[in-house]
Amino acid sequence: MDSIIDHNRLIDHRNEDIFKKVQSKFELSFEPSYNGEHSVYTIGNSITFYIPIGVYSADMFTHELLHAYIDYHEAYIGGNFKNTMWQSNILKQLFDLPLAEHITNSIAHTLMLPLYLEMGFDRSMFLLDYHEFKTEHGFLSQIARYYKQGALYNLSAIRNFIGKCFAFKCDPNSTFNYNNELQQLRKIDSQLYQILENYFLRWARYDFTADPISEYREINADFYAALKPWMNGKRFG
Protein backbone atom coordinates (compact mmCIF):
# COMPACT_ATOMS: atom_id res chain seq x y z
CA MET A 1 0.00 0.00 0.00
CA ASP A 2 2.96 2.30 -0.54
CA SER A 3 2.07 5.51 -2.36
CA ILE A 4 2.27 9.27 -1.96
CA ILE A 5 -0.98 9.00 0.00
CA ASP A 6 -0.38 8.31 3.70
CA HIS A 7 -3.44 6.16 4.34
CA ASN A 8 -2.74 6.02 8.08
CA ARG A 9 -3.94 9.62 8.30
CA LEU A 10 -7.36 8.49 7.05
CA ILE A 11 -7.88 5.92 9.81
CA ASP A 12 -9.07 6.68 13.32
CA HIS A 13 -10.90 4.87 16.12
CA ARG A 14 -14.24 5.28 14.33
CA ASN A 15 -13.40 3.51 11.06
CA GLU A 16 -10.48 1.31 12.12
CA ASP A 17 -12.54 -1.85 12.62
CA ILE A 18 -14.18 -1.74 9.20
CA PHE A 19 -10.87 -0.83 7.56
CA LYS A 20 -9.25 -3.93 9.05
CA LYS A 21 -12.09 -6.13 7.82
CA VAL A 22 -11.83 -4.79 4.28
CA GLN A 23 -8.03 -5.04 4.42
CA SER A 24 -8.28 -8.69 5.48
CA LYS A 25 -10.11 -9.62 2.29
CA PHE A 26 -8.73 -7.28 -0.38
CA GLU A 27 -5.41 -5.95 -1.55
CA LEU A 28 -5.69 -2.22 -0.93
CA SER A 29 -3.93 0.60 -2.71
CA PHE A 30 -4.16 4.38 -2.42
CA GLU A 31 -3.73 6.68 -5.40
CA PRO A 32 -3.96 10.45 -5.79
CA SER A 33 -7.19 11.87 -7.17
CA TYR A 34 -6.76 14.82 -9.48
CA ASN A 35 -10.40 15.88 -9.75
CA GLY A 36 -10.72 16.92 -6.10
CA GLU A 37 -13.03 14.02 -5.23
CA HIS A 38 -12.67 10.84 -3.22
CA SER A 39 -13.61 7.60 -4.99
CA VAL A 40 -13.10 3.85 -4.82
CA TYR A 41 -12.71 1.16 -7.47
CA THR A 42 -13.01 -2.59 -6.89
CA ILE A 43 -11.87 -5.26 -9.31
CA GLY A 44 -11.47 -8.87 -8.24
CA ASN A 45 -9.63 -8.95 -4.92
CA SER A 46 -8.13 -5.46 -5.34
CA ILE A 47 -9.54 -2.15 -4.15
CA THR A 48 -8.08 1.24 -5.03
CA PHE A 49 -8.98 4.35 -3.08
CA TYR A 50 -8.48 7.68 -4.84
CA ILE A 51 -7.69 10.51 -2.43
CA PRO A 52 -7.12 14.18 -3.30
CA ILE A 53 -3.52 15.09 -2.47
CA GLY A 54 -3.25 16.73 0.92
CA VAL A 55 -6.89 16.07 1.85
CA TYR A 56 -6.85 13.73 4.83
CA SER A 57 -10.48 13.57 5.87
CA ALA A 58 -11.58 10.48 7.75
CA ASP A 59 -15.18 11.54 7.12
CA MET A 60 -14.83 11.61 3.33
CA PHE A 61 -12.64 8.52 3.22
CA THR A 62 -15.11 6.53 5.32
CA HIS A 63 -17.81 7.11 2.71
CA GLU A 64 -15.60 5.28 0.18
CA LEU A 65 -14.60 2.69 2.77
CA LEU A 66 -18.27 1.81 3.28
CA HIS A 67 -18.64 1.22 -0.46
CA ALA A 68 -15.77 -1.24 -0.08
CA TYR A 69 -17.47 -2.72 2.98
CA ILE A 70 -20.48 -3.63 0.83
CA ASP A 71 -18.07 -5.51 -1.46
CA TYR A 72 -16.55 -7.15 1.62
CA HIS A 73 -19.98 -8.62 2.32
CA GLU A 74 -20.26 -9.74 -1.32
CA ALA A 75 -23.41 -7.74 -1.99
CA TYR A 76 -22.71 -7.05 -5.66
CA ILE A 77 -25.69 -4.78 -6.15
CA GLY A 78 -24.41 -2.76 -9.10
CA GLY A 79 -23.23 -5.67 -11.22
CA ASN A 80 -26.36 -7.69 -10.53
CA PHE A 81 -28.60 -4.72 -11.35
CA LYS A 82 -27.03 -4.35 -14.79
CA ASN A 83 -27.06 -8.09 -15.48
CA THR A 84 -30.74 -8.25 -14.54
CA MET A 85 -32.05 -5.14 -16.29
CA TRP A 86 -30.02 -5.62 -19.43
CA GLN A 87 -31.77 -8.91 -20.21
CA SER A 88 -34.38 -6.75 -21.94
CA ASN A 89 -33.36 -4.65 -24.95
CA ILE A 90 -35.76 -1.89 -23.94
CA LEU A 91 -34.62 -1.84 -20.32
CA LYS A 92 -30.99 -1.86 -21.47
CA GLN A 93 -31.75 1.33 -23.39
CA LEU A 94 -33.66 2.81 -20.47
CA PHE A 95 -31.20 1.86 -17.75
CA ASP A 96 -28.10 2.97 -19.61
CA LEU A 97 -24.78 2.95 -17.76
CA PRO A 98 -25.06 6.47 -16.23
CA LEU A 99 -28.57 5.80 -14.89
CA ALA A 100 -27.70 2.28 -13.68
CA GLU A 101 -24.70 3.67 -11.79
CA HIS A 102 -26.75 6.54 -10.36
CA ILE A 103 -29.45 4.17 -9.09
CA THR A 104 -27.08 1.64 -7.55
CA ASN A 105 -24.90 4.37 -6.05
CA SER A 106 -28.00 5.94 -4.50
CA ILE A 107 -29.05 2.55 -3.12
CA ALA A 108 -25.57 2.04 -1.68
CA HIS A 109 -25.79 5.44 0.03
CA THR A 110 -29.09 4.45 1.62
CA LEU A 111 -27.47 1.28 2.96
CA MET A 112 -24.29 3.03 4.11
CA LEU A 113 -25.69 6.10 5.85
CA PRO A 114 -26.95 4.39 9.05
CA LEU A 115 -23.52 2.80 9.56
CA TYR A 116 -21.77 6.08 8.82
CA LEU A 117 -23.82 7.85 11.49
CA GLU A 118 -23.50 4.95 13.95
CA MET A 119 -19.72 5.19 13.63
CA GLY A 120 -19.94 8.81 14.78
CA PHE A 121 -19.37 10.69 11.54
CA ASP A 122 -20.97 14.00 10.59
CA ARG A 123 -24.04 13.55 8.35
CA SER A 124 -23.17 16.74 6.45
CA MET A 125 -19.84 15.22 5.38
CA PHE A 126 -21.45 12.16 3.79
CA LEU A 127 -21.72 13.69 0.30
CA LEU A 128 -19.97 16.57 -1.43
CA ASP A 129 -23.34 17.91 -2.62
CA TYR A 130 -25.01 17.42 0.77
CA HIS A 131 -26.21 21.04 0.91
CA GLU A 132 -27.60 21.07 -2.65
CA PHE A 133 -31.30 20.56 -3.31
CA LYS A 134 -31.47 17.75 -5.85
CA THR A 135 -33.41 19.47 -8.61
CA GLU A 136 -33.74 22.84 -10.28
CA HIS A 137 -36.85 24.98 -10.62
CA GLY A 138 -38.93 23.87 -13.59
CA PHE A 139 -37.00 20.65 -14.29
CA LEU A 140 -39.87 18.35 -13.34
CA SER A 141 -42.22 20.35 -15.56
CA GLN A 142 -39.84 19.67 -18.44
CA ILE A 143 -39.99 15.95 -17.67
CA ALA A 144 -43.81 16.11 -17.73
CA ARG A 145 -43.80 18.02 -21.01
CA TYR A 146 -41.66 15.53 -22.90
CA TYR A 147 -42.55 12.29 -21.08
CA LYS A 148 -45.10 11.17 -23.66
CA GLN A 149 -45.64 12.73 -27.06
CA GLY A 150 -48.52 11.15 -28.89
CA ALA A 151 -48.12 7.40 -28.48
CA LEU A 152 -44.36 7.59 -27.96
CA TYR A 153 -42.71 7.53 -24.55
CA ASN A 154 -39.50 9.54 -24.37
CA LEU A 155 -36.63 7.44 -22.97
CA SER A 156 -34.62 10.50 -21.96
CA ALA A 157 -37.54 11.93 -19.98
CA ILE A 158 -38.16 8.56 -18.30
CA ARG A 159 -34.47 8.34 -17.35
CA ASN A 160 -34.72 11.77 -15.75
CA PHE A 161 -37.94 10.72 -13.99
CA ILE A 162 -36.26 7.65 -12.50
CA GLY A 163 -33.02 9.47 -11.71
CA LYS A 164 -34.79 12.26 -9.86
CA CYS A 165 -36.95 9.81 -7.93
CA PHE A 166 -33.84 8.11 -6.56
CA ALA A 167 -32.07 11.42 -5.95
CA PHE A 168 -35.00 12.58 -3.81
CA LYS A 169 -35.56 9.29 -2.00
CA CYS A 170 -31.88 8.76 -1.18
CA ASP A 171 -30.84 12.29 -0.26
CA PRO A 172 -29.11 12.10 3.17
CA ASN A 173 -29.97 15.72 3.95
CA SER A 174 -33.02 15.32 6.15
CA THR A 175 -33.67 19.08 6.17
CA PHE A 176 -34.86 18.90 2.55
CA ASN A 177 -38.52 18.10 1.98
CA TYR A 178 -39.18 16.50 -1.40
CA ASN A 179 -42.87 15.70 -0.88
CA ASN A 180 -44.01 18.21 -3.49
CA GLU A 181 -41.46 16.99 -6.03
CA LEU A 182 -42.40 13.36 -5.46
CA GLN A 183 -46.08 14.19 -5.91
CA GLN A 184 -45.22 15.82 -9.24
CA LEU A 185 -43.50 12.63 -10.35
CA ARG A 186 -46.46 10.53 -9.22
CA LYS A 187 -48.79 12.66 -11.37
CA ILE A 188 -46.60 12.11 -14.44
CA ASP A 189 -46.66 8.29 -14.22
CA SER A 190 -48.32 6.80 -11.15
CA GLN A 191 -47.66 3.19 -12.20
CA LEU A 192 -43.92 3.66 -12.65
CA TYR A 193 -43.74 5.79 -9.51
CA GLN A 194 -45.29 2.99 -7.44
CA ILE A 195 -42.88 0.43 -8.90
CA LEU A 196 -39.94 2.64 -7.91
CA GLU A 197 -41.45 3.27 -4.48
CA ASN A 198 -41.81 -0.47 -3.81
CA TYR A 199 -38.28 -1.10 -5.03
CA PHE A 200 -36.86 1.61 -2.76
CA LEU A 201 -38.77 0.25 0.26
CA ARG A 202 -37.23 -3.18 -0.31
CA TRP A 203 -33.77 -1.63 -0.12
CA ALA A 204 -34.70 0.43 2.93
CA ARG A 205 -35.33 -2.85 4.78
CA TYR A 206 -32.28 -4.65 3.39
CA ASP A 207 -29.23 -5.41 5.56
CA PHE A 208 -26.16 -6.10 3.42
CA THR A 209 -24.21 -7.25 6.48
CA ALA A 210 -26.62 -10.16 6.99
CA ASP A 211 -27.49 -11.55 3.57
CA PRO A 212 -26.35 -15.20 3.37
CA ILE A 213 -28.82 -15.99 0.57
CA SER A 214 -27.98 -12.98 -1.64
CA GLU A 215 -31.39 -11.36 -1.25
CA TYR A 216 -30.18 -8.41 -3.33
CA ARG A 217 -30.55 -10.63 -6.41
CA GLU A 218 -34.20 -11.26 -5.57
CA ILE A 219 -34.85 -7.55 -5.03
CA ASN A 220 -33.47 -6.72 -8.49
CA ALA A 221 -35.28 -9.66 -10.09
CA ASP A 222 -38.61 -8.56 -8.58
CA PHE A 223 -37.98 -5.01 -9.85
CA TYR A 224 -37.40 -6.38 -13.33
CA ALA A 225 -40.59 -8.44 -13.12
CA ALA A 226 -42.59 -5.39 -11.98
CA LEU A 227 -41.33 -3.30 -14.89
CA LYS A 228 -42.40 -5.80 -17.55
CA PRO A 229 -46.18 -5.08 -17.25
CA TRP A 230 -45.45 -1.35 -17.15
CA MET A 231 -43.57 -1.66 -20.45
CA ASN A 232 -46.30 -3.74 -22.10
CA GLY A 233 -47.96 -1.97 -25.03
CA LYS A 234 -45.73 1.10 -24.86
CA ARG A 235 -43.59 2.48 -27.66
CA PHE A 236 -40.30 4.05 -26.60
CA GLY A 237 -38.04 6.39 -28.47
What would the pLDDT profile of 29-75 be if each residue is shown by its tens digit?
999 999 989 999 999 999 999 999 999 999 999 999 999 999 999 99
- pLDDT of 2: 46
Instruction: Label residue 80 exposed, middle or buried (CB < 10 Å: 0-12, 13-18, 19+).
Output: middle
d(Cα 77, Cα 219) in Å, to the nearest integer?
Answer: 10
- pLDDT of 1: 46
The CA–CA distances, whole Å, from 95 to 54, 83, 171, 203 equal 37, 11, 20, 18
Q: What is the domain partition of the chain in residue ranges?
A: 7-72, 77-236
d(Cα 62, Cα 66) in Å, to the nearest integer?
Answer: 6
Q: Phi then psi for 195, rounded to 5 degrees?
A: -60, -45
d(Cα 162, Cα 155) in Å, to the nearest integer?
Answer: 10
Q: Phi then psi for 39, rounded to 5 degrees?
A: -155, 170
Within the chain, which residues score under 70 in pLDDT?
1-3
- pLDDT of 3: 65
Global pTM reads 0.95
How many Å is the maximal CA-CA distance in the chain? 59
